[in-house]
Chain A
Amino acid sequence: MLDRRLYAHIDWWLVAAILTTSTIGLLMIYSTTYEPTTGLVGPQLSRQLVALGIGLVAMFCCLGVDYRLRAGGVTAIYVGLLAMLIYTAIYGIERGGGQRWIEVGPFNLQVSEFARAVVSLALATLYATAWSKQWRTVGWLAGGLILAAPFLLIMRQPDLGTAATLLPICLAVMVFAGLRLKFLMVLGVVGILSTPIVWTYALEDYQRERLSTFANPEQDPRGAGYQQIQARITVGSGGLSGKGFLQGTQSQYNFLPAAHSDFIFSVLAEEHGFLGVLVALGLYLFIIMRSFDAARVAADRMGMLLVVGITTGFAFQVIYNITMSAGLAPVKGLPLPLMSYGGSSIIATLIGFGLILNVRMRRFAN
């Protein structure tokens, strides 16, 4: 099914960068789950390895199918996502104050992680051809609906962080599909004006607390501000060249919570210092730039929009997580793609890259 000629067009540079980054991720998971008293490593490493394997298989499977699916196929995928989100809301496993997982054999699947790729695919299909002038507004509204359904379902879990990653995807795809920047600015002004309303009505108490704690973490150093303070200490104490692999006192002695998941980049900064940070930032920057390149060379509008959507979601999540890992953004449960521990996250991310590679390798085909 995979045309042999297409192999030649796989972006091996991107694949190499992805593999390098996820290998660094594995090392950091090893470090953060290593127990200095017993010398044992937690079960997370092998689970992550399995997930990485599944993800890579899924990624290459994505290459086999042309991204230009018929509208019916995309609709089926989109409706499947919604169904599974609804299933999660009803039968999902509750953990850490949120109902986000469903049991799939020995694994727990976080459906919302796949929403970014699915929404990108759906929007790209929606705007595959430009809407004629009189229907344009309808098109934008339809896009809004495609976003709104999974957004609301994920927010209800509650998981504001993951839901929020859908917003930049939708905006980016719409802008690339021809949404005027003027319109965007109006949206921005409305957003700013509605801040007090959102603050008062839309946010939960703990979210308000997190935001105000972010502004002044010292007001609650033992509670909500703790992670943020510890994250800064972790990063800062790494210095130029870091404390060395397995030598990070902040992570090894558990002063930094969620070190292997949300705060894995802090640990990298602690153990490998500013130099390690530069290498990791460079890798992520390379991946993002290389992905944008796939959008530039895409054979058609749909491919371009698909790559833009997925890359924007990836970039947004990387930037937010890294900012947070330095204690410079409010703490949100967002994993760092390719590095953080989390099977659903790594599989969904790799599927996303499968789609990007897919678009790029079919750039000459019609």
Chain B
Amino acid sequence: MVNLNSIRWREQTDGLLTLGRIIVGVVFGLLALSFWSLQIGQYDRLAEMAENNHDRTISLRAPRGALVDRNGNVLVDNRYTFNISVIRERVADLDSSLDLIGRVTGADVDALRAAVLDQRGVPAFRPIVIVPDASLAQVAAVQARAIELPGVIVEHDPARYYPSRKTASHLFGYVGEAQEHQLRDVSDPRVRLGAIIGQSGVEQSYNLLLMGENGARRVAVNNVGREIETIDQVSPRQGRQLRLTIDLDVQQAAEEAFAISGFDGAAVALDPRTGEVLALVSLPAYDPADFVPRVDQQTWSTLNSDARRPLQNRVLQGRYAPGSTFKVAMAVAALEEGAITPDFSVNCAGGARFYQRFFRCHTRHGRVALHEALEKSCNTYFYTLGSMLDIDRIHHWAAALGLGEPSGIDLPHEVPGLVPSRAWKRLQFNQPWYPGETLSVAIGQGAVSVTPVSLAVMMSTVASGGLRPVPHMLQAVRSGNGWVAADQPAPQRVGLKPETVAAVREGLWMAVNRAGTARRARITGRDVIGKTGTAQVISLEGLAAVKAEGDSGRRFRDHGWFVFAAPQDDPRIAGVVFGEHAEHGYLAAPIAKAMIEAYFAKHDEPEGERPNGA
């Protein structure tokens, strides 16, 4: 039953419904436009913001390159340090878990609790390291209980590993996190905050080769930073493996001989033909493993405050009076300057008068020529040379042989020694040079000081007949499956007359093989040449004064030197041994002997003893 009223409200309704539909349609159109604007118009910007929300990159540390010796023995390698960590949110009962971990690993449970407590601000989904650098036994023990220990994981990180502990620690150096001043050097982007870089030794000199290329893992994280999944991963690339010129046997022979001798010191052995370093010892040594994964504050301050200065590399940084070893340079200077011939002789009456003063010798040598003076280390003879030569000529020849100059060895922080000259004295003291001072220099005392490595260079230069090598340790760099030889620094030719070389060699041969001071380095069939030296640390009067105060005087005892080369005619090993407070040079000689023997043991047999037949 349709009535008028009904028709009226229906017309009205239809109009309103149309209006409502238009409104809804327009609003939906606007909504579609809004979504178009966001999803198409602002897509790039908003998609990037979404990426930034969840994308995180985690660096994967690259292992450093390994170091091997010239025979392929591994000197420094890498290992994985294992950290036992807990992820608290996955642990059902933290206390009982820690108790169990303590029981199976032998770790102190209170220390574990403290480790967790220390990091309670860390989000619960992040692992907290509770046993850093865990042993394999501890790792195995924890993994065997994995079912009882949910949320306990083992993480690993590459770290340096030293198979032979303290051996050659100054040579390799240690590694550590980049320091602020190192970060300022922007030449290599890999050296950045948190990067492990070489802090001394070869690790520092060849850091850029040894450093690998860190990898990265891109992960998606959720709103609280929890890792949900790995998006992609670039594996880390290990640093280059380096082959050093070091001969581990020679190195160990030297260190063992030092251990027997009972004193600290330094030793370097070079191949005089090339300058390759065969061994480099500085004692006392530190343990580079103390710096892995990082050095703790207490160890660091102990190392720094130790009076024996274990962090100092005495080979490059110790400066000492050369004592009688300087007589080698004096002999070369006198012969090359033409001041004397090898036959020139001096009568030693237990000393001699120069410039109105008596200069003492250890004993009464009688008449000695150059070779006997070197053999017996006659001071009188070299005082005489000192009185005949100008200090600047001595300086010239000593410098030519490498004394008072940096050797250029490929290790950081080398310091030069000092060979005085007129110019030096004027600059330093604004005083003229007095001839009497030359006499002290002539026997390696007075202002002259040298580093062990520079004496090794001197000995190499004289023994090889005038080829001054630059000591170096990098032999080859690993490339793919082979080795690429490293650039070798060229030796410098020092013009020495053959007669000079022959005369000095003979005197040094006699010092070892006759009645000389260095008989303890004698090896049958090896024709070792050498020269001892004793460096006064304090004057005799001074020593008496300290002893009177109750000091044992050990730290004022003389240093002992021994420079050496072998064999005489065609030297293949030359070097120096420095015995700190060893009192006598001849006590250093057995260490050299140990190195020479170790070197030849694996090279050829002495000529006469070679077995017949092929």
Give residues in A with beta carbon < 8 Å to B: 36-37, 130, 172, 175-176, 178, 232-240, 249-250, 252-255, 269, 273-274, 277-278, 281, 284-285, 288-289, 292, 295-296, 301, 304, 308, 312, 315, 319, 322-323, 326-328, 366
Check A253–B38 contact: CB distance below 8 A.
no
Min C-beta distance of A133 to chain B, whole Å: 13
Residues of A within 8 A of B14 (CB): 296
Task: Annotate B47-82 by CB proximity to A: 1 below 8 A, 0 otherwise.
Answer: 101110110000000000000000000000000000
Q: How far is the CB of A78 from chain B (nearest CB, A)?
A: 24
Q: Which B21-61 residues sit within 8 Å CB-CB of chain A?
A: 21, 24-25, 27-28, 31-32, 34-36, 38-40, 42-43, 45-47, 49-51, 53-54
Contacts of A236 in B (CB 8 A): 38-39, 42-43, 45-47, 49-50
Question: A249 near B54 (CB under 8 angstroms)?
Answer: yes
Query: What distance in Å separates the Cβ of B444 from its nearest Cβ neighbour in chain A?
Result: 74
Q: Which residues on B sit within 8 Å (CB–CB) of A301?
A: 9
Partner of A175, one of B1, B16, B25: B16
Name the one of B1, B24, B27 contacting A289, with C-beta atoms under 8 angstroms: B24
Question: Which chain B residues lie closer than 8 Å to A315 at the CB level?
Answer: 24
Q: Which residue of B lies closest to A248 (CB)?
A: B50
Closest to B35 in A: A277
In the complex, B183 has a CB within 8 A of chain A: no
Interchain CB contact under 8 A, A232 and B38: yes
Q: Does B119 contact A (CB under 8 A)?
A: no
Question: How far apart sit A172 and B16, CA to CA, in the bound complex (Å)?
Answer: 10
Note all chain A residues with C-beta closer than 8 A to B363.
Answer: none
Cross-chain contact B35 with A274 (CB below 8 angstroms):
yes
Q: State whether the Cβ of B223 lies closer than 8 Å to any Cβ in chain A.
A: yes
Known: A176-B16, A253-B53, A292-B21. A238 touches B39 (CB 8 A): yes
A37-B228, A249-B50, A253-B223 known; A178 and B12 CB under 8 Å?
yes
Q: A285-B25, A323-B31 are in contact. Are A304 and B13 (CB under 8 A)?
A: yes
Query: A249 near B220 (CB under 8 angstroms)?
Result: yes
Q: Which residues of A contact B53 (CB under 8 A)?
A: 233, 249-250, 253, 255
Tell yes or no: B221 within 8 A of A by CB.
yes
Taking CB as reference atom, which chain A residue is nearest B45? A236
Among B20, B21, B38, chain A packs the most CB atoms within 10 A around the CB of B38
Distance (whole angstroms) from the CB of B459 to the closest CB of chain A: 68
A238–B50 Cα gap in the complex (Å)?
Answer: 10
For B224, list chain A residues within 8 Å (CB). Answer: 254
Q: Which chain A residues lie closer than 8 Å to B36 at the CB level?
A: 274
22 example contacts (A-B, Cβ-Cβ < 8 A) are as follows A176-B16, A233-B49, A235-B35, A235-B39, A239-B39, A239-B43, A249-B53, A249-B220, A250-B50, A253-B221, A253-B222, A255-B53, A255-B54, A269-B35, A273-B39, A274-B39, A274-B40, A277-B32, A285-B24, A304-B13, A326-B35, A327-B38
Residues of A contacting B220 in the complex (Cβ-Cβ under 8 angstroms) = 249, 253
Q: Does B607 sit at the interface, judged by CB under 8 A?
A: no
Q: Which residue of A lies closest to B39 (CB)?
A: A274
How many residues of chain B get a CB closer than 8 Å to chain A's CBs?
39
Residues of B within 8 A of A (CB): 1, 5, 9, 12-14, 16-17, 20-21, 24-25, 27-28, 31-32, 34-36, 38-40, 42-43, 45-47, 49-51, 53-54, 220-224, 228-229
A304 nearest CB neighbor, chain B only: B13
> Which applies to chain B's interface (DSSP): helix, strand, loop or mixed?
helix
Q: Which residues of A contact B16 (CB under 8 A)?
A: 175-176
User: Are B54 and A253 in contact (CB-based, < 8 A)?
Assistant: yes
Return the chain A residue nearest B31 by Cβ: A322
Chain B residues near A285 (CB-CB < 8 A): 24-25, 28
Q: Which residue of A lies closest to B41 (CB)?
A: A236
Residue of A nearest to B12 (CB): A178
Contacts of B229 in A (CB 8 A): 36-37
Least Cβ–Cβ distance between B176 and chain A, in angstroms: 37
Further pairs besides A239-B39, A295-B13: 6, Cβ < 8 Å: A37-B229, A176-B16, A233-B50, A249-B50, A249-B51, A274-B39
Q: Are A237 and B54 in contact (CB under 8 A)?
A: no
- Beta-carbon contact of B40 and A240 below 8 Å: yes
CA distance A285 to B22 in the complex (A): 11
- Knowing A235-B35, A254-B223, the reply to whether A289 touches B45 (Cβ < 8 A) is no
Known contacts A237-B43, A285-B24, A289-B21; A326/B222 CB under 8 A: no
State the Cβ distance, A323 to closest chain B Cβ, in Å: 7
Contact between B25 and A253, CB atoms less than 8 A apart: no
For residue B46, which residue of chain A has the nearest CB?
A236
Contacts of A36 in B (CB 8 A): 228-229
Q: What residues on A are CB-neighbors of B222 within 8 Å?
A: 252-255
Known A278-B32, A315-B24; judge A296-B13 contact (CB<8 A).
yes
Query: Which A residues are in CB contact (< 8 Å) with B27?
Result: 319
Task: Using A253-B223, A273-B39 as known contacts, say yes or no to A281 and B46 having CB atoms under 8 A apart.
Answer: no
CB-CB under 8 A from B12, the residues of chain A are 178
| C-alpha gap A292/B19 in the complex (Å) | 11
Measured CA separation A89–B224 after assembly (Å)? 35
